[in-house]
Amino acid sequence: MDRVGCQLETTINSVKRRLKVEPILINVPSSDSNLHGLIDLTQKIHIDYSQDEMGKIVNIEEIDKSHKLYDRMVFYREKMIS
């Protein structure tokens, strides 16, 4: 997931096909459209890297039920645990 425009599901399928393993995700991108942040599924936090400062400014926030990324976090966290 180091290229602009890459898709998480495509990357996961590539790992499965090439390595013949079932990957366990512990971090996922916070958005499918950019690589400016990630969700830590183990700690339930959102880590956002500033676009203006080339990632020098990092914002970390807990993901609770009212957070905009809550549903995405729950979806991938359930996949990680099962």
The tens digit of pLDDT for each residue in 29-80 reads: 998 877 789 999 999 999 998 777 766 788 999 999 999 999 999 999 999 9
Q: For residue 4, what pLDDT is reported?
A: 65
Distance, CA of 56 to CA of 73 (rounded, Å): 24
The predicted pLDDT at position 34 comes to: 75
Residue 4 forms part of a structural domain: no
Between CA 51 and CA 35 the distance in angstroms is: 10
Q: How many domains does the chain have?
A: 1
C-alpha to C-alpha distance for 46 and 27, rounded to whole angstroms? 10
The CA angle 37-10-76, to the nearest 5 degrees, is 55
Whole-prediction pTM: 0.83
Question: Would you say residue 48 lies in a domain?
Answer: yes
Domain that holds residue 43: 25-81
Residue partners of 66: CB distance under 8 A and separation at least 6: none
- Cα distance from N-terminal residue to C-terminal residue, the chain: 23
Q: Is residue 35 part of a domain?
A: yes
In the DSSP assignment, the letter for residue 77 is: H
